[in-house]
Amino acid sequence: MWCKVLFNSTPFIIFLCVVLILIWLIRKRDYQYTILLLASYYFYYFSTGLFLLSLLLFTSSLDFYVGKKIYEANNKRIKKYFLILSLISNLGILAFFKYTNFAIDSVNDLLILFGFNSQLPILNIILPIGISFYTFQTMSYTLDVYFGKLKPVDSFLRYMLYVAFFPQLVAGPILRAADFLPQLGKNILFSYTNLKFGLTLVGWGIVKKVVFADNIAPLVNVIFESPTELNSFLIILGAIGFGIQIYCDFSGYSDIAIGVAKTFGFTLPLNFNKPYFSKNPAEFWKRWHISLSTWLKDYLYIPLGGNRKGKNRTDFNLMTTMVLGGLWHGASWNFVIWGAYQGILLTLHKFFSRIKSISGIFIFKGIGALIITQYFVFLGWLIFRIRDVSDLWYSIKKFILIDFSLNGLSILEANKLSLIFILIFLYVHYISYKNKDVIERIKSLDLRYWFVYVVIIVLLLLLFAPSKTSEFIYFQF
C-alpha cells in the first residue's frame, strides 16, 4: 500500500500533480471540490482498504447529521442527546480500534499477577491510519455547533472534504471546522504566490523528514534496542537524537501538509514553532503539536473547569488533560506515563508561577530556564520512546545520575553520519530561531534565487536520502 508513506515518495509527487492539473482544468467550484474529495478518498483507500474507508465515511455522515439535528433542536435536552450520540459513537469507534488490545493485554497482566493461567485472546484489529486525527476533527465540529460557536454547514460535500482533506488526513494538523469550512466557499484559484510558498514548505518538510529524521533514526534505534548495557552519555545522546528525530519527522509532515494545502490555496494552522527554545513547560505546549494542545485545552481542559475552580481543581484538570493526551498518542502504558509526566511538569510550573514573589530563588530565567526546560523535555522523550519498563527505568537513572563509563562508545563510530546530522540540526534550528520567518523570506526571493533553494533541496535529497526511508512516526497514532 504505497500511499501509506506517500509524502516522501515519487508516487506522491505524481498523485499531487495529477490532482492539481485536474482541478486547474475544471473551473467550476463544486466540481473542483468533488475532484479533491475523490482524490482524498482514493488516497485514504490505498492507505487502509475499503472497510476502513467506509468507517471514515460513516463518521463523516454521522457528525454531519448530528450537527444539523443539534442546531435544529428546540430544547437543550434534545441537543444534549445528539451530542452524546456523537461523542459515544466517535469515542467508541476510536476506543475499539485503538485500545481494545491494550485493555486485553492489561487484563492479562493482572491475571498473571494474581496467579491465573488463562489468558484472553488478542483480537486481530487493524488500526485505521489517521483515526485519532479525523475523530477529533468531527468531534470538534459537533461540539462547536452544540455550544453555539458554529452554524452547521449545508453542503455534505464540503463537510466530507473538511474531514478527509488528504494533505492532513493521516497525521494532522487537526483542523477546526470554523477555520477550514469558510475557505470552501469559493473557487480554487491557483496563484504564483501560493504555489511558490507551498513548494517552499514542501521541500523543507521533505528535507526534515528524509535528510534529518531518517538519518538520525539508525543511531537512536541502536541505542534503544538494548540500552541497559550503555553509559549515561549514550542514553542522553539517544534522548537528544530521538527528540530531534520525532521533531523533524512530525514537523516535516506538518510542513508538507501545510505546503500542499497552500498549493490549492488553503491555509492550515501552524503545528510547530521552534519548541526546543521553550523556557517553560507551558510554552513548550504552545509550540509543540499546537493543533492537538489547543484542541485539548478548548475541548477538555476548559470544559473540565480550566483554572476557574481553585488551584487544586486546576491541577487535577491539567493532569487529567495531559494523561488523556498521552493516551491519545498510543495504546501503551508508556504513553500514559508520558502524559502524566507532562502533567506534573505543567503543574509544577503553575506552582512556581503562583509564588513568583520569590522567583529569584525558585524560577530560572533566560538561558537557565531554557536549559532546565529542555532537560526535562528530553528526559520525557525517554518515556515516550521506550516501552519496556526495565529499559526505561535504567535509561532514566542513567539520564539523571550521570556516570563516566566509556562502555558502548563503538556505537558512535558506526553512526558518524547520524551524529553529524544531530549537530547540523542544532545549528539550523538555532539559526531559524534567531532569524524569524525564514520560510517567508525564502518564498519571497526572486525566482532565480528561489530556484537556487530548489536546487539545494534536490541536491540534499540526492546526496543524503537513505536507501530505505521509514514511514512517518505519527502514522501509528
Active site residues: 329
Q: At residue 41, what is the residue type? A: Y
The answer to whether the Cα torsion of 140, 145, 149, 152 is positive or negative is: positive
C-alpha cell at 189: 484559484
Residue reference for cell 471514515: 56
275/11 Cα distance (integer angstroms): 32
C-alpha cell at 140: 470538534
285/343 Cα distance (integer angstroms): 11
Q: What angle do CA 16, 256, 34 make, to 5 degrees?
A: 40
| DSSP-assigned letters across all residues of 123-170 | P--PPPTTHHHHHHHHHHHHHHHHTTS-PPPS-HHHHHHHHH-GGGTT
Q: What are phi and psi of 37, to 5 degrees?
A: -70, -45
343/323 Cα distance (integer angstroms): 7
393/391 Cα distance (integer angstroms): 6
C-alpha cell at 258: 501545510
